[in-house]
Amino acid sequence: MALLEKWREDAYAERSQEEYDAFWNEYFPKEQKNYEQILENKEQVVEGSVGELAERYGMDVLTFTGFLDGINTSLTEQLDLDNLTEESNIKLSIDFQLLYFNMLDAKATWLYSLPQWDDILTVEKRREITKDYNKSRMVINENKVGRNEPCPCGSGKKYKKCCINK
């Protein structure tokens, strides 16, 4: 069984709310520590085997695979997580703007509010990314008919005198 499959089986296993909370409360501080380390060393490209990197970041291989699953969409070159093994050599080239956006999307306040972001993205840039994120979440109906426009039914009447009342 592939590492990612094992991780997902473990992470999303049927369990009580207490066990669920305990599992994620153990994972999130480890994840935060990894991001703190990565953000502090933003110039350093993280590379090596999955097993070596898991050890370097103080995680077991399965938990590190979960971390990779989370960061994968923020990489300039995504990893083939389905075929990942402990011996697989990987390189994490991170797009920090995309990472910040994805942290907003995951509602990971504990990650996108880390002080290490100050040295990577300016406050203005983070506001801009947050604004872009908020815009991406809005639904805009571009097909809205104004009340004084011709009715789309083809009657020739204004919408307010025709179909708005139906």
Give residues with Cβ within 8 angstroms of 111, minimum separation 6. Answer: 31, 32, 35, 103
What is the pLDDT at residue 116? 96
Enter the tokens of residue 147: 């009340």
Q: Identify the pLDDT of residue 157.
A: 86
Provide the pLDDT for residue 165. 62
Residue spans of the chain under pLDDT 50? none
Question: How many Å apart are CA 70 and CA 24, to the nearest integer?
Answer: 13
Write phi, then psi, for 35 (nearest 5 degrees).
Answer: -65, -40
Phi-psi region of 60 (alpha: psi -120 to 50; beta: other; left: phi over 0): beta
Residue ranges per structural domain of the chain: 3-121
pLDDT of residue 1: 61
Q: What percent of the chain has pLDDT over 70?
A: 98
Q: What's the whole-model pTM score?
A: 0.80
